[in-house]
Amino acid sequence: MRTSVLSAFQIAVTLALTAWMITGFTRLPGRWMRWKMFCRATFSIITLTGTKDGRTEPVNVYDHLSPGSFILGLPQLQAIVDYLVRSGRYDRIDGHGRVLSASGEQRVEVTGSRVVL
């Protein structure tokens, strides 16, 4: 009998913890996730094209992040764009996308190798 009481307690605690964790992912006005890790991070979803000698090709900025990294904020995006232009790989980089942060979702443009919100 003691075992069944312990199991019932474990199930109740597990269900309560699961419910609490699920509510952490619900939407709030102006927020895309409210779990603290996501509220403080900034994610960029962006499509870029690089131009070199009149030819354009797609640019994958995630190829230039350290292995295992997936969080790309605006300063990191600008640093990668600057690196690609300064290294001579491209004359200019342009593109558009979205930025997800604690401020919500915003459009971002890359025009003439400059990141603009």
Does residue 10 form part of some domain? no
3, pLDDT greater than 70: no
Let me know: does 103 contact 92? Beta carbons within 8 Å: no
pTM above 0.85, yes or no: no
pLDDT score of 48 = 95
Q: Which domain holds residue 54?
A: 28-116
Does residue 81 form part of some domain? yes
Does residue 13 form part of some domain? no
101: left (phi over 0), alpha (psi -120 to 50) or beta: beta
Does residue 1 form part of some domain? no
Nearest to 30 by CA among 106, 115, 109: 106
The count of structural domains within the chain is: 1
Does residue 98 form part of some domain? yes
Over residues 61-110, the pLDDT tens digits come to: 888 887 777 778 888 899 999 999 999 999 999 999 998 877 778 999 99
Nearest to 97 by CA among 84, 115, 70: 115
Calpha distance 115→12 (Å, rounded): 50
Residue with the bigger pLDDT between 111 and 62: it is: 111
